[in-house]
Amino acid sequence: MNQEGGAKVIMKQHKKEKLSHLLIRYLLIIVGAGLAAVAIELFLVPNDIIDGGVIGVSLILSHLNAGSIPFVNFATLVIIINLPFMYYGYKYIGKTFVFSSIFGIVCLAVIESQLHHVEAFTTQPILATVFGGLILGAGVGLVIRNGGTMDGTEILGILLTKKLPFSLGEFVMFVNIFIFIWAGFVYGPEQAMYSVMAYYIAFKTIDTVIQGLDETKAVIIVSDHYADVSDTILDRLGRGTTKLKGKGGYTDEDKEVIYAVVTRLEVTKLKAIVHEVDPKAFITIMNTQETKGAQFKSAIH
């Protein structure tokens, strides 16, 4: 086979791989939207509990309408309210993100509309809060992990926090405070408190889904015995290290800084190893958002 023919085969294989990844990603978005729809329609709505953001606003408005105006329901509202945010997302964030988000929102609306006649799983508010929050968080987390979102307020937050002295989390919290106060007037104070609980559970579940269950820690070690420390970590923990060049801020002396990534279960052992080799070593341990790499995975398994 000539080089040109070989190149064409490689390109075709690459395209097929990209297509397969794309299909899997959109399939997972459908699953995520389906979980969110189940949580909303079969747990939260029957118990007058809402979520934050656009989903929460859509639930309140559809409750207030209560069928008075045809087609003004959750499915329609969640699409319409999200549209302006999607426009700005397309303009300032990117079309891939927006297409994934619109796909997820439409799937949420369609699946939720098909669950109207399905009986609620529970009418106990506390059970609906806990399990509704967990399932909703798992669904939204899947959508976010696969490149989309179902809440346009986060898009607005990303854009506004570039110009305002607030973080994205602070902006979203600020918006949700007003949504839950509004829910207190519409549903009553108890249901508003259940809604805050459901939102918190969903928020924590989203973090778990996005970051994964295999929580890892990034470790920075400053030691005069860096070679011994690095070799001992590799020998006794099975973790490779990276040596970085540093300079002491007080002494202005050159320093070797050791960087390593371990699982949370290995942190205690790592600290014991380092202090055994060098009791004066300086250790900083940080949470990591995500860790990828064949070497790290093979070390875990």
Show the DSSP H helices in the chain as ranges: 3-39, 53-65, 74-92, 95-113, 125-145, 152-160, 168-187, 189-211, 226-237, 267-277, 294-300
Predicted pLDDT of residue 38? 97
Span 146-174, mean pLDDT?
Answer: 79
Better-predicted residue by pLDDT, 242 or 131: 131
**Whole-structure pTM value:** 0.75
Query: For residue 134, is pLDDT > 70?
Result: yes
Predicted pLDDT of residue 301? 37
Please write the tens of the pLDDT for every residue from 16-70: 447 888 899 999 999 999 999 999 999 999 999 999 999 999 999 999 987 677 7
CA-based nearest residue to 52, from 139, 173, 205: 173
Query: For residue 218, is pLDDT > 60?
Result: yes
Better-predicted residue by pLDDT, 102 or 287: 102
Better-predicted residue by pLDDT, 299 or 155: 155
Query: For residue 148, is pLDDT > 90?
Result: no
Query: For residue 158, is pLDDT > 60?
Result: yes
Long-range contacts of 95-98 (CB under 8 A, 24+ apart): 96/147, 97/147, 97/148, 97/149
Cα(first)–Cα(last) distance of the chain, in Å?
Answer: 39
Residue with tokens 């976010």: 144
Span 283-291, mean pLDDT?
Answer: 79
The CA distances from residue 24 to 9, 30, 54, in Å, are 23, 10, 26
What domains are there in the chain, each with its CATH number?
A: 3-211 (no CATH), 216-300 (3.30.70.120)
Please write the tens of the pLDDT for every residue from 238-276: 888 888 887 776 676 778 899 998 877 788 888 988 999
Query: For residue 117, is pLDDT > 80?
Result: yes
Mean pLDDT of the chain: 84
